[in-house]
């Protein structure tokens, strides 16, 4: 498609620049910027307010996860993986665990699966709360930030009471969840099950979160300025989204009713009754609304799980030094940001031979050059924010 001034001016009705002979300017929305979620660099050619093309430059945060995994053992990798997408810490470990358990052909006990599910849904709410906080801030409203983060603190306190860490729980073990404090004669008996008062506090926290979500909806959803800034902006047709590999709430906002929680069975989601929210148009507003509804659905799942959790052991019987038999497998899961997959190749040793991480945000931002052609500069921020990516996830 030939991009010139006339084609672009037809793409949107708003036109700000006068018909003068001005040259366009290369604007570097640089790695250090308040609005890119991390160190993303966009090299944009702009003419006044209109953007001609955008080239994202990534790699400022590459930490070498895949190489690191080649020289670490399985328990050590578990400690590292939750730092990929640090906003939703717990959810990053799950597909890796399931992949290793698949190769070892282990049966994870029910209680461990339920605990994994509860903590994953808490991570999902936590990640969407960060989105609720930061997206209006990029559009200019500063107050939802505080309301959303206030509720996220409750969830982080709950996560901390179970796992000991707020953002980096490190609670999964191959075969289940962390069974005991240590391996000594006394500490082996200190079972790391859910602490006393967890169920009650969780139920109360869910009530508070629903209230806060309603408050956020009042504050943000009825506001004409936000509707004017997000409706019709950044429309993503479902075919284009699927072609670029966009996943998660971004794709669901375009109307594709596909959720890996139902499509795959890495955790017992089929025992719970919840809906999958979708959007109609695929614009920024729908992406916001889908995430808001997902918070509500996650609250529902957690309440059902807490009511019906079975008792039992926390980890399957595994040897002390874990060696995964040779083989390869790919497991994908519904990370809050999208589809996260781990391709694990094992050669029978104490660590993987190769671990390939398919991260959600990397594919989500591949759509930026397509979506940001011909928009106005403030819309760059609106569209980027609505994709909800984290640079740690993009660069690994």
Partner 1 sequence: MPEVVLDLFSNFWVALLGKVLLVALMIPLIGMVIGFAEMKLSAKMQNRVGPYFAGGRWGWAQLIADGVKFFQKEDLIPADADRPVFKTAPIWVLVGTVALFVVIPFGPGLIFRDLSVGVFYALAISSISTIGVLMAGWSSANKYSLMGGLRAAGQLIAYELPLVLAVIGSVILAGTMSMSGIVEAQIEAGYPYVIFQFVGFGIFMIAALAELTRIPFDMPIAESELVMGYLTEYSGFRFLFFFLAEFANMFTMSAIAVTLFLGGYWLPGLSEDQLVYLGPIILIAKVFVLVFAMIWFRWTFPRFREDQLQTLAWKWLIPLALVNIMVTAALKVLL
Partner 2 sequence: MLKGLAVTLITMFKTIFAPGKNLRTVNYPKVKETPVARARGVIALDQEACTVCMLCARQCPDWCIYIEGHKEEKEPSEPGGRIKVRNTLDRFDIDYALCMYCGICVEVCPFDALFWSPEYEYSEEKMGDMLHDMDRLQDWMKFVPETPGLEK
User: Which residues are at the interface with partner 1 (CB under 8 A)?
Assistant: 14-16, 25, 27-28, 33-35, 48-49, 136-143, 145-147, 150, 219, 223, 225-226, 228-229, 376-379, 381
Least Cβ distance, residue 295 to partner 1 (angstroms): 19
User: Which position has the token pair 């790695």?
Assistant: 31
Angstrom distance (rounded) from CA 248 to CA 388: 10
How far from each other are the two terminal CA atoms of the chain, in whole angstroms? 33
Taking every pair of C-alpha atoms in the chain, what is the biggest distance, in angstroms?
81
SS3 at position 57: strand
- Report the residue count for the chain: 396
237 contributes a contact to partner 2 by CB under 8 A: no
Binds 187, which of partner 2, partner 1, none (CB < 5 to 8 A, cut-off by type)?
Answer: partner 2
The mark string for 36-75 relative to partner 2 (x by CB under 8 A, - otherwise) is ------------------------------------xx-x
182 contributes a contact to partner 2 by CB under 8 A: yes
| 366 to 58, 247, 288: CA distances (angstroms) | 11, 11, 19
Q: Does residue 54 contact residue 380 with C-beta atoms inside 8 Å?
A: yes
Binds 215, which of partner 2, partner 1, none (CB < 5 to 8 A, cut-off by type)?
Answer: partner 2
The residue among 12 and 223 lying less far from partner 2, judged by its C-beta, is: 223
Least Cβ distance, residue 97 to partner 1 (angstroms): 37
309, with CB counted inside 10 A (0-12, 13-18, 19+), is middle
The residue among 224 and 273 lying less far from partner 1, judged by its C-beta, is: 224
Least Cβ distance, residue 376 to partner 1 (angstroms): 6
The residue among 30 and 184 lying less far from partner 1, judged by its C-beta, is: 30
The residue among 181 and 370 lying less far from partner 2, judged by its C-beta, is: 181
Q: Does residue 338 contact residue 366 with C-beta atoms inside 8 Å?
A: no
Strand partners, 38: none
SS3 at position 46: strand
Least Cβ distance, residue 16 to partner 1 (angstroms): 5
* 274: number of Cβ within 10 Å: 18
The residue among 339 and 388 lying less far from partner 1, judged by its C-beta, is: 388
Residue 172 sits at φ, ψ, to 5 deg, of -85, 140
Residue of 117, 157, 136 whose CA lies nearest to 268:
117
SS3 at position 54: strand
The residue among 215 and 329 lying less far from partner 2, judged by its C-beta, is: 215
The residue among 316 and 377 lying less far from partner 1, judged by its C-beta, is: 377
178 contributes a contact to partner 2 by CB under 8 A: yes
Binds 235, which of partner 1, partner 2, none (CB < 5 to 8 A, cut-off by type)?
Answer: none
Residues at the contact surface with partner 2, assessed by CB under 8 A: 72-73, 75-76, 79-80, 143, 146-147, 150, 153, 157, 160-165, 168, 170, 178, 180-187, 190-199, 215, 218-220, 222-225, 311
């Amino acid at each position: 498609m030939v991009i010139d001034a006339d084609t672009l001016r037809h793409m949107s009705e708003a036109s700000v620049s006068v018909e003068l002979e001005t040259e366009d300017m290369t604007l570097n929305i640089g790695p250090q910027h308040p609005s890119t979620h991390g160190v993303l660099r966009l090299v944009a050619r702009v003419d006044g307010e209109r953007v001609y093309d955008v080239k994202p430059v990534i790699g400022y945060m590459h930490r070498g996860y895949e190489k690191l995994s080649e020289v670490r053992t399985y328990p050590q990798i578990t400690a590292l993986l939750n730092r990929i997408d640090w906003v939703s810490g717990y959810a990053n470990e799950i597909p890796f665990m399931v992949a290793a358990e698949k190769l070892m052909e282990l049966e994870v006990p029910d209680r461990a699966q339920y605990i994994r599910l509860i903590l994953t849904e808490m991570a999902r709410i936590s990640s969407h709360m960060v989105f609720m906080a930061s997206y209006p801030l990029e559009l200019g409203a500063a107050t939802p930030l505080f309301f959303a983060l206030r509720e996220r603190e409750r969830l982080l306190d709950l996560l901390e009471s179970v796992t000991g860490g707020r953002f980096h729980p490190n609670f999964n073990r191959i075969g289940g969840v962390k069974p005991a404090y240590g391996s000594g004669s006394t500490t082996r008996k200190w079972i790391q099950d859910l602490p006393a008062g967890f169920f009650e506090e969780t139920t109360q926290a869910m009530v508070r979160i629903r209230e806060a979500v309603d408050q956020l909806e009042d504050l943000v959803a009825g506001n004409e300025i936000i509707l004017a800034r997000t409706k019709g902006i950044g429309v993503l047709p479902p075919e284009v989204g699927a072609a670029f590999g966009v996943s998660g709430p971004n794709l669901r906002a375009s109307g594709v009713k596909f959720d890996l929680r139902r499509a795959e069975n890495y955790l017992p989601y089929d025992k719970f009754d919840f809906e999958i929210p979708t959007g109609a148009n695929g614009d920024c507003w729908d992406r916001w609304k889908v995430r808001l509804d997902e918070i509500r659905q996650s609250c529902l799942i957690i309440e059902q799980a807490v009511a019906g959790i079975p008792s039992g052991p926390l980890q399957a019987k595994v040897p002390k030094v874990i060696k995964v038999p040779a083989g390869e497998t790919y497991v994908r899961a519904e990370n809050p940001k999208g589809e996260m997959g781990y391709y694990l190749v094992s050669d029978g040793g104490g660590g993987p031979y190769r671990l390939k991480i398919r991260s959600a945000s990397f594919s989500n931002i591949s759509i930026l050059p397509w979506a940001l052609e011909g928009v106005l500069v403030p819309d760059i921020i609106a569209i980027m924010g609505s994709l909800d990516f984290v640079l740690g996830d993009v660069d690994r």
